[in-house]
Structure 1
Amino acid sequence: MTETVWRNKPYGLMIASQTFSSFADWMFLLSALTIAGVHLNASSIEMSLLMLAFILPQLLISPIAGSLSDRFDRKRVIILSNIGRSVVVLCVPFAVFSMWQLMIIMGLLSTFSSLFIPAKNGKLKEILSDDQLQQGVAISGMIDNASKVLGPSLSGFLLVLFSTQSLFLFISGSYVLSVLTLLFLNKSVPIEQTEEKPAVSFSQGFREIRAHTSIYTGLMVLATCMFFLQLVDSQLVIFLTQTMHSAEQTLGMAIAASGFGTLIAAFYLSKKPLVHFEKYQRVATGVLGCSFLFILVVSVLPEELMMVLIPICFLFGGGAFGCVLVSFQIYVQKTIPVKSTGRIFGAISSVTSGASIFGLLLGGVKAELFGVQFVYFVVGTALVLLSLDLFIKQRAVARRNRQNQTM
C-alpha cells in the first residue's frame, strides 16, 4: 500500500509543496511572535490580538476560499496562495515597525493560507485513488503536525545562526520552493461551473455538511475538542507557573510531546484501515478529557515526577486529538465528491477557527474568574461526558439499525 502511494508522482509533488509551505507557516509564526515580544515589547493583550488577527481571517474567508477552489483550477489557487504568502513575509523586515503593522501582516498571511487549505484537500481528492485516499490524507496530516513540532524549532535554530531579516528571506524562499514544485503538477480536472449567487455559494458547504449526519456530528465533536483545547492551551503557561518552578522546561517538553502524540496518531491511521471513524472520535475524546484530569492529579506530586508525567499526559492528549482530527479528515475525503471538497473543507476550517477563537477569548476570562485548575477540571470532565454521550447515542443508533434489519 505504501509503495502504491509513493509511486503516485502528482501526490509526491503535492506533499513536497505542502511540506515547504507548512514549515514556512510555523517558522513565520514563531518569528512574528519573537518580533512582537522582543523588538516591539508587546503586552499580553497585544499578543492576544495578534493571534486573533491570525485566526479571524480563516473564520471569515475559508468558506469563500473553498468555493473558489471548487470553481477554478486548484493548482492555480494553491500557487496564488503561496506567492501571496511569500510576498507578505518578504515585507516584514522592511514594513513592520509597530504592532498594528504586524497584525495586518498576520491577517494577510492568514488570508492567503485560507486559500491553500481547501484547495490542497481538493487536489488530494483528485490525485489519489480510493484505495490510496486514507493513507494519503493521513500522511498529509503527518506533514502538518510535523511542521507544528519542528517548524518553530527550526526557526529558533536559524535565529541563533542568522539575523531576523535573513530568517524572513529564508521563509519567503520556502514558499517560492512550494510554488516551483507545483509547476510540475497537472492542472485540476474540469469542474462543473454553476450560476449560483455568491451568498448561496458561500453557504453551500455548510448546507452540505448539515445534510450529512455523520460529517455534521463529526465536525461538532472536532469543533468542541478545538474549543476546549484552546481554553486549556491559552492558560498552560499560567498553570505550570503556579504549580512548579521549572515551568519553562516543562512547557517545552509538554508542547513537543503533544505534537509528537498527534504525529503518532496520524502515522497509525495511515496504516490501519478506517472502518468506523465514530469509534475513534468517541474513544479519543474520552482519552483527551482524561489526560487533562490526570494533569490535575499529577500537579500535587513532587516536581521531579511532574516534569516527567505532565509531558506524558500531553503525549496521550496529543495522540487523542490527532485521532479525532485525522480520522474525521479521512472520513470526509472518502465520503464527499471531488467537486465539493473545496467548499466543504472551507466550511470545516471556518467552524474550527471559530471554535478556536471562542476558546482563546473565554480561556482567560474563566481562569480569571474561577482559577486555572478549575478550567482544567471543567474541560476534562466535559470531554469525558461528551465521550459517554457519543457512546450512548451510537449504541442506540446501532441497536435501531439491527432492529430495522430484522424486520
Structure 2
Amino acid sequence: MTEPLDPTPHSAEPEDFVTEVPHGGTSLWRNRPYMALLTGETVAAVGVEIAQVALPIIAVTYLVATEFEIGVLGMAEGIAFLLLSLPVGAWVDRVSRRRVMIAANVVRGLAMAAIPILWFSGVLDVPQLMAVALIISAAAVFFDTAYMSIVPALVPRDQLNDANSRLQITSETARAAGPGLGGVLAKVFSAAWLPLAATLGYLISAFAIWRIPTDEPPPRTHDSKFRTEIREGIDFVFKNQYIRPVVLSTTASNLFGTIAYTMIPVLLLRELGLGPAAYGLMLTISSVGGIFGAFTAPWWARKFGEGHSIPVTYIFAALPMFLMASVFLLPHTAAIIAAAVSGFWGVAGIVAFNVVQVSMRQKQCPPRMLARMTASIRTLIWGVGPLGAFLSGVIATHWGLASAFWIGATGQAIGLVFLLFSPLWRLRKVPDPAWMADEDAAVGES
C-alpha cells in the first residue's frame, strides 16, 4: 500500500444497507453487507482462477522454469504470511477492515497487470515473476486477515457455518468455471494476457467491499504496544484446547501438502504432457470438488458434530494424496484419471475441513481478537508453505518428482495425530468459551 489507511471508519453510510448484524432468523440472502462481500469474492475468484491457469503455463512453458525455480516461485507466493502475519494481525484490529481489504485488492490488481506489460515488453523473466508473486503475497496477508475478521461481524453466530459454506460454494463455483475458461483462452490467445482477468476481478471486489457501509464492530481502541497485542494473540491460540490441535495438524498438513502440490503443474504439463486446455480442465475438476466440499460442510458438522467433524474431514482430505502419488505407477491414461479423481476428492476434503474448523475458531474467539487470532494461526499454517515449496523443488530436483508426492502424502497423514489425541475427536458439541458467559452476564446486568 502506498498510503497509510485512515484508522477511523467512514461516517457516511448508504441508506439502503443493513448496518447491524441481523438476527438468526434473517436469511443470509437478505443480509446486504454479507451479500456485498459474497458477490465481490465470487467475481474476484473467477478472474483469479483464469489467471492461475496462465501463471504455471507462463513459468513452465514460456519461461522454461526448472523444478527448483518452480519451488522458489511457490515459496515467493507464500513467504509474506510468515513474515507479515503477526504485525498485520495486530494492526488490522485497530483500523477499518473494509479499507484494508479495498486497498489490498487494488494492489493485487495492479501487480497482476504488470505481468502482461512485462511480457509484451519482452523483459519478463522468472525473477520478475517471483517479485510480482511477493507483492501479491504481501497484499493477500492484509486482505485475508481482515476478511477472516469481518465475516463474524456481518452474520449471527448461529449462521457462521452456513455463511462460510456459502462463501466457499460461490467461490468454488467460480473456480470451477475459471480454469476451464482460462485453459480455452490460453489456447486461443497468449496466456500472458490472462492475468488481466484477475486485475478486473480484484477491482470489482474492491468496489463491492466499498459498498459495505461500515465495520461491525468498529476498529478497536488500543492503549498497548504491538508486541503485547501480538503476544496476546499467540497466547490465545495456544492456550485454547480446541484451536491448538487444529493449528498443529493444519501446519503439518500444509507443510507436507505444499511439498506435493507445488509440483502439480510440472506433473500435469510436463510429466503427463497435458496442453493448456486439458490443464485448465483438470483444475476445473478439482474446483468442482471444492463445490462438493463446500455444499457438504454443514452436513459433516451435523452428522459428526462441530468437534468430531474436524478430524473426520481431515482424514477425508488426506487420503487422496496417496492416490496422486500412485500416478507414477500407472499407465498414461490411468494416471490422468487418477490425477483427476485425486484432485476432485482432495479439494473437496480440504474445503469441508476448512469450513468446519474455521467456523469453530470464529466461535471460540472474542471479536476484539479475531484479526490477531487469524494472524497468529496463519503465520504457522501458511508460513510453512514457502518452506514446503522450497523443499519441493529440492526434493524433485535431487530425488525425482514422484518423491515429492510420496513424502507429501505421508507427512500430511501424520498430521492427523494432533487431532486424534485432542478433545475434538470425542466431542460433538464444542463448549462455548468463557468470554461468552462474561459477555452474557454483562448484557443481563445492563
Q: Which category describes the TM-score, using the shorter chain as reference length?
A: 0.7 to 0.9
Q: 1:184 to 1:271 in 2, by over 3 A?
A: farther
Give the C-alpha shift of residue 282 in structure 1.
Answer: 2.1
Gaps in structure 1 of 5+ consecutive residues:
399-407
Once the two structures are superposed, residues 1-27 of structure 1 have per-residue CA deviations (whole angstroms, 9 ceiling, x without a partner) of 997111111110011112233333333
Structure 1 position 359 matched with structure 2 position 388: yes
Partner residue of 1:102 out of 124, 129, 132: 129
Q: Is the 8 A contact 1:27 1:151 kept in 2?
A: yes
Equivalent in 255, 259, 269 of residue 231 of structure 1: 259
How far does residue 193 in structure 1 lie from its aligned partner after superposition?
1.2
Alignment of 1:210 onto 2:238: yes
Local SS of the residue matching 2:211: coil
Distance 2:187 2:59 in 1: 17
In the alignment, structure 2 segments of 5+ residues that lack a partner are: 1-23, 428-446
- Alpha-carbon deviation of 1:117? 0.7
Secondary structure of the 1:192 match is coil
Structure 1 residue 238: deviation in Å? Answer: 6.2
Partner of 1:404: none
Instruction: Look up the match of 1:320.
Output: 349
SS at match of 1:213: coil
Matches within 5 A, 1:6-405: 6-37=29-60, 39-95=62-118, 97-99=123-125, 100-160=127-187, 167-188=194-215, 189-236=217-264, 255-270=283-298, 273=301, 276-295=305-324, 300=329, 302-368=331-397, 370-387=399-416, 390-394=419-423
CA displacement at 1:51 relative to structure 2: 2.7
State the AA in 1 paired with 2:137: S
Deviations 1:47-100 (A, max 9, x none): 333332221122212223322321111111111112222333334444562333
User: Which letter does structure 1 place at the counterpart of 2:77?
Assistant: F
* Partner of residue 401, structure 1: none
Residues 197 and 233 (structure 1), Cα distance of their counterparts in 2 relative to 1, 3 Å cut: same
Q: Structure 2 CA distance, aligned partners of 1:170 and 1:397?
A: 46
Residue 85 of structure 2 aligns with an amino acid whose one-letter code is S
Deviation, structure 1 residue 331: 0.9
Percent identity for Structure 1 against Structure 2:
19
SS in 1 for 2:102: helix
Contact 1:234 1:363 in 2 (8 A): yes
TM-score (norm 1): 0.83
Question: CA RMSD of the aligned region, Å?
Answer: 3.5
Q: Distance in 1 between matches of 2:106 and 2:76?
A: 20
**1:47–1:167: structure 2 CA closer, same or farther, 3 Å change rule?**
same
Does residue 4 (structure 1) correspond to residue 27 (structure 2)? The answer is: yes
* Whole-Å separation in 1 of the counterparts to 2:193 and 2:329: 45
* CA distance 1:344–1:22, change in 2 (3 Å): farther
Instruction: Tell me the number of residue pairs that the alignment of Structure 1 and Structure 2 aligns.
Output: 398
